[in-house]
Amino acid sequence: MAVHVLAVLAYKEGDRVTSAFLAGSVNTNPVIIRRLLLSLQRAKLVDTCKGAGSGSRLSRSPGRINLAEVYRAVEEAEPFATPVRKPNTACPVGHCIRKELERIFGSAQKAMERDLGKTSLVDVINAVKASCASKKTV
Amino acid sequence: MAVHVLAVLAYKEGDRVTSAFLAGSVNTNPVIIRRLLLSLQRAKLVDTCKGAGSGSRLSRSPGRINLAEVYRAVEEAEPFATPVRKPNTACPVGHCIRKELERIFGSAQKAMERDLGKTSLVDVINAVKASCASKKTV
DNA sequence: CGACTATGTAACGTTCGTTGTTACATATAG
DNA sequence: CTATATGTAACAACGAACGTTACATAGTCG
C-alpha cells in the first residue's frame, strides 16, 4: 500500500496531494493514508504541509527513492511480528535456537531488501504507464 | 516455529519423535505441531507414522534440507496475506499497479528464498550446539 | 481577523489469521 | 483387544491491520 501511495505521488510529480485524494486512489480511508504518511515522513520520503490547499509530495525525485527504503519505512513501524515465543528452558534446542533463527532470518531479510533496492519509484511508474498503455491498445 | 521443530528432529536424528514431545519443546500444543507436520509431510520433509511408539522423523538427512524448502513448505499453506485490495478503477495508477507490485515483491521473495537456501538444517543445529556449549562454559 | 481546509491523533469497532484447547475418529504396535 | 499417537473438526482467545468517527491544531485565503 505504501508503494501505491508513493506511486501516485510520483505520478503527480511536484504537486501536493491531499490524503483524501490518495485515499480515493487506494480505495480506503484518509486516516489510514495519514497514518502511513507519518511513517513516510519519519523516513524523510515525503514532505507534508498542513492547511488549506496543502497535502503531501515526494521529498526527493522518484528516481532517488528505492523500494528498500519504502519497505524499511513502513516495517520499522511494525517491528516484525515476532510473537516473543517464550523459550522453554527445558529443551536444549529450544533454549539456544532463538538468536540463531534471528541471525538467519535477518540475513534473508537483508537479501530481500537488497533486491528491493534495485527498483526505484521511477521504475514502478514507468512499468505502470507501460502496462496501462498496452491495455488501452488491446 | 517450523525450523524449531525440524531442528529438534535433526537433533534426535533417526529417532521417531511424538508430537507431544515436540510440543513440549516448542512450548505449545500437540495439535499445533501436528498441523505443522502436515505441511511438512506434504513437502516430503518429514516422515510420520501413526500408532503406538511412533511419531515423526526427517525423511532426508538434515544436510539435504535447506531453509528455503522449509519456508516454502509452511508458506504455501499460508498463501501470503494478500488482502486482495479491490482495485479502484477510477485512478490510472490504482488500476495497473497490482501486477507490477506482485512482480517486484515476487522477485524480492525469491531473493529471500535464495538466501535461505544457503543454510541447511545441519548448519542450524551446529550453530545451536556451539551456542549452547559456549553458554555452558561461561 | 475569521472561515475554510487539511493534517495529527485518539478512541473504538470490525475483520482476519494464528494460536490454543477440547473432543473424537482412526490407525498401528504389541 | 488395548494402549498409543496421529488426523481432523469445532470453537475460543488473542493480536494485527484496517476502517470509522470525532476533534484539536495549524496553515491559507478572502
Q: Which of A25, A87, A108 sits opposite B115 (nearest CB)?
A: A108
Contacts of A125 in chain B (CB under 8 A): 93
Measuring from the CA of residue B17 to each C1' atom, give the nucleotide at the shortest distance: D5
Q: Is nucleic acid strand D under 7 Å from A1's C-beta?
A: yes
B17, B122, B128: best to mutate for the A interface, most A CBs within 10 A = B128
pLDDT above 90 (res A133): no
What share of chain A in percent tops pLDDT 70? Answer: 86
> What gap in Å lies between CA B73 and CA B6, rounded to an integer?
12
Mean pLDDT of all residues in B57-80:
86
Q: pLDDT by residue (tens digit) across A17-64? A: 999 999 999 999 999 999 999 999 999 999 999 999 999 999 999 999
The CA-atom distances, in angstroms, between A95 and each of A78, A89, B26, B37, B132 are: 26, 5, 10, 21, 8
Q: pLDDT by residue (tens digit) across A82-105? A: 555 666 656 766 678 888 888 999
Residues 3-22 of B with CB under 7 A from strand D: 18-20
Measuring from the CA of residue B83 to each C1' atom, give the nucleotide at the shortest distance: C16
Whole-model pTM?
0.87
Which among A131, A133, A123, A118 has a CA at the least distance from the CA of A10?
A123
Q: Please check whether residue B82 touches A, CB under 8 A.
A: no
pLDDT recorded at residue B115: 96
Helix (H) or strand (E) holding A124: helix A121-137
Mean pLDDT of all residues in B47-63:
94
> Which residues have C-beta within 8 Å of that of residue B102, sequence separation ≥ 6?
none
Q: Please check whether residue B119 touches A, CB under 8 A.
A: yes
pLDDT above 60 (res B83): no
Question: What is residue A64's DSSP assignment?
Answer: G
Q: Please check whether residue A133 touches B, CB under 8 A.
A: no
Pseudo-torsion of CA A95, A82, A72, A20, nearest 10°?
Answer: -170
Residue B44, Cα to own-chain centre: how many angstroms?
A: 12
